[in-house]
Amino acid sequence: MYRSTPPSKTQIGAALRFYSPTGELPKDALELELEGMPLPAAPIEETQMNDITTPTLPDAARFILAGNAIFTVVSRRTGERFTFKVSQADEGRDGKAPPHFVGVLAGPDNTSDYTFIGTLFSDGTYRHSAKSRISSTAPSAKAAMWVMTMVRKDPAKLMEQADFHHAGRCGRCGRLLTVPSSIESGFGPECAGKMM
Ligand SMILES: [Zn+2]
């Protein structure tokens, strides 16, 4: 017959030490009887505590700034859609955090057809590149300007006004998926047709 073993004094001591905010044991902890002694409730995970005490960016905003992100943004107002690739530089200048470079998908290959469009600097300023072959008044440039400015300035509003879909992989062939309906279904158009 299975009998659970009561926790040892060492286990209780370790649990109490973990539970105690100061790491100190209560004076009489080691004197406690083992039988009937309830173990302290599990401590709140450190990450949960961080979520409570420090405001964190919405997941989509964290994804955009993660350093190697491909995502598709759809305006809730107009339904307009663009796919961006946002990469963080390896190093920043003058001891500052590295900037993010923004490319927009401008061709049929969603792994390589990105055109450089602008830079998000570590202070939160986004600048359209004068060297970009996409004009600053093009819809994709305006969308990039809006997304990359708001991602630091007001990410909550950004999430209200647009839907973000981070790139997926086709479950059948492994190709990158950037069209929202494909990301949703998990299949590219060709493979979707070959599946039951
Ligand atoms: Zn596929």
* Distance (Å) from CA 124 to ligand 1 centroid: 37
Split at pLDDT 50, 70, 90, the class of 94 is: confident
Amino acid at 84: F
Condensed to tens digits (0 to 9), the pLDDT of residues 158-192 reads 999 999 999 999 999 999 999 999 999 999 999 99
**pLDDT surpasses 50 at 54:** no
List, for residues 10-29, the tens digit of each pLDDT value: 555 555 444 444 444 444 54
- Burial category of 76 from C-beta neighbours within 10 Å (exposed 0-12, middle 13-18, buried 19 and up): exposed
Q: Phi and psi at residue 79, in whole multiples of 5°?
A: 80, 0
Residue by residue, DSSP assigns 16-71 as: HHHHSTTSPPPTTGGGS-STT-PPPPPPPPHHHHHHHHS----HHHHHHTSSEEEE
178 CA → ligand 1 middle, Å: 12
- Judge whether 134 and 141 are in contact, CB under 8 Å: yes
Ligand 1 centre and the CA of 170: distance in Å?
5
What pTM value is reported for the model? 0.70
| CA dist list (Å): 70 to 82, 84, 90, 112 | 11, 6, 18, 11
Which residues does 62 contact at the CB level (< 8 Å), separation at least 6?
Answer: 56
- φ, ψ dihedrals at 156, nearest 5°: -65, -40
Higher-pLDDT residue of 114, 3: 114
The rounded Å distance from CA 190 to ligand 1 centre is: 6
When the pLDDT of each residue in the chain is averaged and rounded to a whole number, the result is: 82
Q: What 3-state class would DSSP assign to 157?
A: helix
Q: Which amino acid is at 98?
A: P
Distance CA 71, CA 157 (A): 18
Q: Match 């919405």 to its residue by tokens.
A: 58
Distance from residue 191's CA to the centre of ligand 1 (Å): 4
pLDDT at position 58, please? 86
Local confidence band at 52 (pLDDT 50, 70, 90 cut-offs): very low
